[in-house]
Chain A
Amino acid sequence: MQPSIPWRALRATLSLPGLVLAGSMVGFGGFAHDAGWTFLDVALATSLIWALPAQVILIGSLASGAGIAATLAVVSISSIRLLPMVCSLLPQLRREGTRLLTLVAASHYVAQTVWILGLLNLEKIEREERMAFFFWMANLTVLLSLASCFAGYQLSGQLPRPFAVALLMLTPISFLLSTAKTATRFDTGLAFALGLALLPIAHAVAPLVGLGTWDLLITGLIAGSLAFTAGHLSERRAS
């Protein structure tokens, strides 16, 4: 007999991508505590925004004194990447008669980790059971993330200094390594390297031209477009 859907969803959630997310969420909890957020804010952000880069941008931008318009603009642009993810995942979930509202509800859960877990597991599930599996898996991943945030948040005030610093560093190191792992194409790899290299320049130059708090957006747009163009040109030459 096949194991039940909730059980299979739990096993999917507790696989490596889910556990890596949990580690990053511990770091996010610590980061939010360090920035003076309440745990209610942390829980709201994790369950409603549900995209770690957007959440980190939100905290980081507000902490560095950026205005709300600049902050929301970068948050939104960092989330455009969710659109193609939703587009590639939903066709695996839908079947005859799936309501649009159900698809929209499912789309809210799509973020890097849930997307990967979906791609890894949905194929092995009977189509009639996929939607149920997806909601179980996605909600369990949210729960695991909230518990991890809570752990990080609680630890943050109590750890000895070296470990408190290490907790805060979990966010950047997990972004560095997980992006290095997923940016394997020529253009995304180049975008990653250019983003790292251009940020200090944008950070120094942006205030001089009156765009003080827009350094993230400037870096993302310039580095991303350059890398995309380079990738496009090299492919045209190759073909």
Chain B
Amino acid sequence: MSWSLPVIILAAAAVSDVWRVLGALVSARIDENSTAFRLVRCIATALIAAILARLVLYPTGLLSEIPASLRVGSMAAGFAAYWFAGRSMVLGTLVCEALLVVGVWWLG
């Protein structure tokens, strides 16, 4: 890898901003509910699911040192809490994090 990290970050910013600039150029002439944009939205949503699944299932760094069952279990518990508390993001996050802290502390 011969690129330095700041250069890679600049490149990543450029390949993201391309879509925004394109949006600004065509914004007057495009229907945001068109079929093509629905496909874009589906792929973007699936990509976010894929990122979070990879972060939880195949982490690097400190997260990789704790058992997969604890990572997946705390996420599932957080989601269940979110769901049954009437889609409360705050409660879901708190339950996930609390379970994780207790679990890691318990395992030492």
Residues of A within 8 A of B (CB): 20, 23, 34-35, 37, 40-41, 44-45, 48-51, 53-58, 60, 62-64, 67-68, 71-72, 74-88, 90-91, 100, 103-104, 106-108, 110, 161-166, 168-181, 183, 187-188, 191-196, 198-200, 202-203, 215-217, 219-225, 227-228, 231-232
Q: Are B20 and A82 in contact (CB under 8 A)?
A: yes
Give Cα distance in the complex from A232 to B46, angstroms.
Answer: 16
Q: Are A228 and B24 in contact (CB under 8 A)?
A: no
Residue of A nearest to B23 (CB): A86
Residues on the B chain within 8 Å of A100, using CB: 24-25
Give Cα distance in the complex from A54 to B22, angstroms.
Answer: 18
Residue of A nearest to B104 (CB): A162
Assuming the contacts A45-B9, A82-B16, asked whether A200 and B60 have C-beta atoms less than 8 A apart, the reply is: no
Residue of B nearest to A223 (CB): B46
B59 to chain A, nearest CB (A): 8
Known: A86-B23, A171-B52. 8 other contacts (CB 8 A): A35-B61, A41-B9, A48-B9, A80-B19, A87-B32, A195-B48, A196-B52, A216-B50
| Closest A-B pairs by Cβ, 7 of them | A195-B49, A86-B23, A224-B43, A220-B47, A195-B46, A81-B44, A223-B46
Residues on the B chain within 8 Å of A20, using CB: 89
Residues on the B chain within 8 Å of A161, using CB: 62, 104
Q: Are A187 and B42 in contact (CB under 8 A)?
A: yes
Residues on the B chain within 8 Å of A223, using CB: 46, 49-50
Residues on the A chain within 8 Å of B66, using CB: 165
Assuming the contacts A162-B105, A192-B49, A195-B49, asked whether A79 and B16 have C-beta atoms less than 8 A apart, the reply is: yes
A135 to chain B, nearest CB (A): 14
19 contacts between A and B (CB under 8 A): A41-B9, A58-B8, A64-B58, A68-B8, A74-B47, A78-B48, A84-B23, A84-B41, A91-B27, A100-B25, A162-B104, A165-B100, A168-B61, A179-B52, A187-B41, A220-B50, A221-B43, A223-B50, A224-B46
Residues on the B chain within 8 Å of A104, using CB: 20-21, 24-25
Give Cα distance in the complex from A192 to B79, angstroms.
Answer: 14
Prevailing SS type, chain A contact patch: helix
Residues on the A chain within 8 Å of B62, using CB: 34, 161, 164-165, 168
Q: Which of B66-100 contact A (CB under 8 A)?
A: 66, 71, 74-75, 78-79, 82, 87, 89, 92-93, 96-97, 100
A149 to chain B, nearest CB (A): 13
Residues on the B chain within 8 Å of A193, using CB: 49
Q: Are A54 and B23 in contact (CB under 8 A)?
A: no
Q: Are B9 and A44 in contact (CB under 8 A)?
A: yes
Q: Are A49 and B30 in contact (CB under 8 A)?
A: no
B28 to chain A, nearest CB (A): 7
Give Cα distance in the complex from A196 to B63, angstroms.
Answer: 19
CB contact between B6 and one of A44, A180, A224 (< 8 Å): that residue:
A44
B81 to chain A, nearest CB (A): 10
